[in-house]
Structures are given as C-alpha cells and as structure tokens.
Amino acid sequence: MRTAIFTLLIAAACASHAAGGRVFVSNERDDTVSVIDATSNEVIATVPVGKRPRGVGVSPDGSEVYVAVSGDNAIAVIDPDKLEVVRTFDSGDDPEAFAVHPNGNIYISNEEDAKASVYNPRNGEKIAEIEVGIEPEGVAISPDGSRVIVTSESTNMLHIIAVPEHEIVANIVVGARPRAATFSADGKIAYATSEISGEVKKVDVATGTILGRMPLADDKAKPKDVLLSRDGKRLFVAGGRANSIFVLDADTLEVLDTIGVGKRVWGLALSGDGKRLYTTDGVDHQVSVIDTERDDVVATVPVGQFPWGVAIDD
Amino acid sequence: MSPIPTRPLPRPLRVCLTGLCLVLLGAATASSALETRQVRIGFVGAHDGDAMRGASQGIDEANAQGRFLGWHYELVPLADAAAARGAGVAMIVADAAPATLRALADAAAPAAVINVGAADDALRAACLPNLLHTLPSAAMRADAEAQWRRKHADTTATARAWHESFRKYAAAQLNRRYETRHGQAMSDVAWAAWAAVKLVSNTIATHGEAAPAQVHDMIRGDIAFDGQKGADMSFRDTGQLRQPLLLVDGDTIVGEAPVRGVADPGDLDTLGLAACAR
C-alpha cells in the first residue's frame, strides 16, 4: 500500500513536470531567462544568467537547458528542476546561436571570430573548431546528426559541415545576411532565411542547388528563425519587422498564412507535439503562443527586455 | 550555383616538408584541390588614404568569402586613366576628382568605375554608363538633413554615410573589424570603398562570373547588398547606390534617414536624385 502511494506520488510529480513542459526565453537586455509554464502560459521563474543571453537549447534527454551568454563568452547550464544556473563553461568569443546535436554536443557560432565550435557541455571541453565566413550566426543540425549548417551573415553563405569529421563539405551562396536555417526530416533539404534580402531559400543540401525562393512582405520582412511543422508540410518563419509569422508550404514555398504577433519577432520554438508555436517578440518584450491548428495567437506572455531565443523542454 | 567542395590536403602532404614533396603537392593540387580564379580590382587614389584602407578591408572580406568558393581577390593600384586601359581588372575603385573620374570611366569601359570619394551631384546627373557611386551625393545628404529639420524644427544634424559609433545592423561588427585592422575609425570614404569591393565580390560569388562587362551588368541588377546599415541596397540608374544615411550631432548619432514621420523609412529614393532625366 505504501509503495503504491509512493508510486502514485512519483507518477503525479512526473506528470506535472511533463505536462506541457516549460518554455525558456532569453532576455537579451535583462541578462535573464524567463521560464514559462506551457500549461498556464505564466512566467514561473526568472533566472539570472549573465550578460546578453541569446541562443537557448535543451539537452536531448531534457535534463539540462543551455543558454549562450554572449557578453560573458560562456554557456550557462540551467537545471530545469531547480530553475537555476548550475554551472557555466567557456564557449569561445561571443557565442550567439547554437544547436544541440542528438549526441548531446553543442555547435556554437562565434560571431566575432568567424568560427564555429563544438563543445561537450557535460564537461565543457572543446571538441573541434571550424573556420567559417564572417559573422557566423544560425546553426542547424540534420535529424540524423550527420550534417551541420552554419550561416555566415557577412559572407552570405550556408556552410555544410560533416559530422564527425568536422570538415566543411560544401558552401552554398544565398541571399544577403543569412540568419537561420533548418533541415527537412530526411536531411536532404534545408531552408534558410536572409534578413537583408528579406527571403527564404530552399536548397538541396547534397548538390547546393537553390530549389526555390520566396520574398516575404515584398522583401521588407527581415526574417530570422525558421522551423518546419512536425509533419514537414509547413514552414514557420519569424518575420522580424513584418511583426508576423509567415506560414509557408514547405514544398512550393507559397505563403499559406500570415499570423500577426508582436513587434520584431525573432525567435521560434515548437512544442513536441507540434501544436503550439512560441515566438519571441523582441521590441514588445513578450512571447506569443500560437495554436498551429488554427494559426491563431492564443496567449501573449510578458517576459523580460528584448526576448531573443526560445526553447521548450517538453 | 553548385557548391564547391573544399578539402584539406591529404594527410601525407600535410606533413610534407622537403623539396621532393613539392612535386607531389603540385600533382595533388591539380587533382583534388579547388581551382582558384584570380580577380583583380583596380584602385585609383592615395596609397595611404581612407579609400585604400576601406578597399583593403573589402579585399580581406572578399577573400574570406572567396576561399570557400575558389576566388582570390587582389587590389591593383593604377596611376591614372591611361593605366586603366587594358589593366585586366574586373572593376575599379576610385577616390579622385570629378574630371578624373569621367576620364577613368571613359578609359575603363566596359569595366565599372566605382566612385568612393566625390559627392558631386553633376556626376550623378551625368548618368555615365559605367560610373557608379557608393559615396552618397551632396543632394542625398542635403535631403536627409532637410528631413531631419522638418521633424525636429529646433535642431540640426549632419548627414553621414557611416559613423564609428554606429552599432545597429551589425555596424558594430564592421567598425570593430576595421578598427582592429587599421587602428582608426572607419570614415564615410572608407565605408564607400569597403562597400564597392564587397558588393562586387558578393555578386561574383552569387553568379560565378568575374568578366568586367558581366560584373558591371550584375551589380546594376537587384543585388540586395548588405552594407551593414540594415537596408538592402542597389544602384539607381544614375549609378548612385541607394542607402540610408546617419544623422549626427557632434559625435552622436541622433537618427537615420529617410526620417520616419516625414518620409517613408523604406523609400531610399527620398534622398537625392532618384532617376536620370529622360
């Protein structure tokens, strides 16, 4: 009987942790991370992390949350249960965006150094360093982990890096100031946003062929983050100055829907079930929560100053 | 448009130190390494001036991009218009007086000459076929200042192409790169010269062509150039590069033009002569 009750308690505790998960949002000007309960859409904690936090990511097992603390040249590790920074490690100069590999390593763009670096976040060791173009920014990893894309903003390129060799195998020229990229589920296609040319490009990763281009808001959007829906059919693009999320057909790049959110929307994260999309609306200091079945904003959550990165641990 | 693989040398060659190995190295380069195509960019102006520093910065960044694609850029100083004839350059960056620029354009055709030092309005109005301008014209600066005065009746500001304290839109990164390399602040002319080289190298990277007439045609198209001022830039038919300007009071940036509220910030043609007279 006692065991049964104990088991129930444990199950209840786990369920409350898992239900909807938590959304971690870096506030670039506040030096904090806001933690939003995804069920109530309320901020349940504000964690001080260090100067100018930007990229956010979750370890594959959900046991750790990583934050690129650009101003401190470090990665801060947040314990998602304690909701506090449990350790930090040196990440090279000015870490901006990063992505977590299925094997747990993280791939970071070091903006000032024209390098991408690979770290084992468990011990803070640097595994590799790859020279890329000027002002590297977006990082994406193919679902099977065999390829990494780093975008270099002032060199207008997607660098395709092979894993585990950590060598560049191709360089694909795209529009001006490429900011973010994402892979299709099979890793064969990549989508990239270019801020200055105001467009999304679809590329064949193996051949580098540009398969399509879609200007957003007459080239005026200044798009940033880009993500595919869980079924791979729709592409979500954070429209920056267009203050909207663009929903594109992943095949044709046709704009299917435009969802108005707050000002200067930069960051995107999708829930595990794909039903909720979280956006960081930089100048409005808020996160918008979108129901992806209705393509509607169902909640806006005030966070810190200039929210930048967002990740969910569900 | 296809990506060009970049491969490190095979391990045995990386450890090669002797003259004997050079023979092997030559063979390996021919068979496996990326073929590098040279691009010569002409330069007319003082060898120790801001235009030279800006152009050199542009060459560094062009090579940072070109090494991934098999292009190598080199700045070739030219003494005068006569030297431009048959110099084998893809285009020319020039910091010179209006009369010299006209003679250069004449001699260099079909290569483009990009003016980075003269704000002269008559040069824009002349609409010469192969003379382009990355430095803003005097009229563009006057319009920017007038827009500022219309919005802020009691204050004046000076319009600039660039400023060392500019930080937005990755301007901070460009200022830092320039200051690290040259030990001084990036001026308007240095920015214009950097932009001239960079917009050409970006276009060559995109189209895979570096012949002078093609370079001129390509840069006259919809280049959406990122001059690290937040806007996508392209050339008017006058040859002038459309661009936002900074409004500076003393040493402080107080605004950007087109000035929001009195002009559409997205309409860069509210500054200066928008098109050639027909």
**Looking at this predicted complex, what is its ipTM?**
0.89
B68 CB within 8 Å of a chain A CB: yes
A68 forms beta bridges with: A75
Q: Return all residues near B169 (Cβ < 8 A) that are at least 6 apart.
A: B228, B229, B230
What is the nearest CA distance from B53 to chain A, expressed in angstroms? 18
User: B82: closest CA among B42, B124, B135, B130?
Assistant: B42
End-to-end CA distance of chain B: 37
pLDDT of residue B32: 39
pLDDT of residue B206: 95
What is the nearest CA distance from A235 to chain B, expressed in angstroms? 24
Q: Which two tokens stand for residue A312?
A: 């969910």
Q: Which residues of A touch B225 (CB under 8 A)?
A: 176, 196
B10 CB within 8 Å of a chain A CB: no
Contact A140, A99 (CB under 8 A): yes
A240: which DSSP letter?
B
Residue of A nearest to B195 (CA): A154
Please give the C-alpha separations between residue B132 and each of A123, B91, B274, in angstroms, as whole numbers: 54, 11, 14
Most B CBs within 10 A among A70, A196, A264, hence the mutation to make, goes to A196
b (16+ CB within 10 A) / e for A43-76: bebbbebbebbbbbbbbeebebbbbbbbebbbbb
A157 CB within 8 Å of a chain B CB: yes
Q: Return all residues near B278 (Cβ < 8 A) that are at least 6 apart.
A: none
A196 CB within 8 Å of a chain B CB: yes
Contact B228, A154 (CB under 8 A): yes
pLDDT of residue B21: 36
Question: Using CA atoms, how far apart are residues B191 and A28, in angstroms rounded to an integer?
Answer: 29
pLDDT digits (tens, 9 = 90+) for B140-180: 999 999 999 999 987 899 999 999 999 999 999 999 999 99
The three-class DSSP label of residue A235 is strand
What is the nearest CA distance from B130 to chain A, expressed in angstroms? 24
Identity at B184, one-letter amino acid code: Q
A162 CB within 8 Å of a chain B CB: no
Question: Using CA atoms, how far apart are residues B212 and B217, in angstroms rounded to an integer?
Answer: 9
CB atoms within 10 A of CB A84: 12
Residue B91 has pLDDT above 90, yes or no: yes
B8 CB within 8 Å of a chain A CB: yes
B27: buried, middle or exposed (CB in 10 Å: 19+, 13-18, 0-12)? exposed
Contact B90, B108 (CB under 8 A): no
Q: Is the dihedral of CA B192, B195, B197, B200 positive or negative?
A: negative
Question: Using CA atoms, how far apart are residues B201 and B219, in angstroms rounded to an integer?
Answer: 10
Contact A72, A50 (CB under 8 A): yes
Contact A34, A53 (CB under 8 A): no
Put simply, the answer to whether A155 touches B7 (Cβ < 8 Å) is no
pLDDT of residue B250: 92
Stated pTM of the model: 0.89
pLDDT of residue A20: 65
Q: Which residues of B touch A151 (CB under 8 A)?
A: none
CATH assignment of B35-270, among 3.50.50.60, 3.40.50.2300, 1.10.357.10, 3.40.50.300: 3.40.50.2300
Query: Which of B7, B170, B266 is closest, CB to CB, to A220?
Result: B266
Contact B234, B242 (CB under 8 A): yes
Question: Using CA atoms, how far apart are residues B116 and B45, in angstroms rounded to an integer?
Answer: 10
Instruction: Name the strand (E) or helix (H) holding B179.
Output: helix B171-182
pLDDT of residue B154: 79
Query: Which of B3, B6, B232 is closest, CB to CB, to A196?
Result: B232
B69 CB within 8 Å of a chain A CB: yes
A159 forms beta bridges with: A150, A171
Please give the C-alpha separations between residue B6 and each of A70, A98, A204, B34, B55, in angstroms, as whole numbers: 30, 23, 18, 7, 27
pLDDT digits (tens, 9 = 90+) for B192-238: 999 999 999 999 999 999 999 999 999 999 899 999 999 999 999 99
Question: Using CA atoms, how far apart are residues B151 and B154, in angstroms rounded to an integer?
Answer: 9
With cut-offs at 50, 70 and 90, classify the pLDDT of residue B1.
very low
With cut-offs at 50, 70 and 90, classify the pLDDT of residue B7.
very low
Strands (E), chain B: 37-44, 71-77, 91-94, 112-115, 131-133, 158-160, 225-226, 232-233, 245-249, 252-257
Identity at B261, one-letter amino acid code: G
Put simply, the answer to whether B3 touches A154 (Cβ < 8 Å) is no
Question: Using CA atoms, how far apart are residues A135 and A156, in angstroms rounded to an integer?
Answer: 10
Q: Please state whether beta strands A226-228 and B91-94 pair in parallel, antiparallel, or not at all (unpaired).
A: unpaired
Question: Using CA atoms, how far apart are residues A121 and A100, in angstroms rounded to an integer?
Answer: 10
Name residues 216-275 of chain B within 8 A of A (Cβ). Answer: 224-226, 228, 230-232, 266
Name residues 111-150 of chain A within 8 A of B (Cβ). Answer: 111-112, 114, 133-135
Domain ranges of chain B: 35-270
- Averaged over successive runs of 10 residues, the pLDDT of chain A (314 residues) comes to 46 45 97 97 98 97 96 96 96 93 97 94 97 97 98 97 97 97 98 96 95 91 96 97 97 98 97 97 98 98 98 94
Residue B33 has pLDDT above 50, yes or no: yes
Q: Which two tokens stand for residue B94?
A: 């020039």
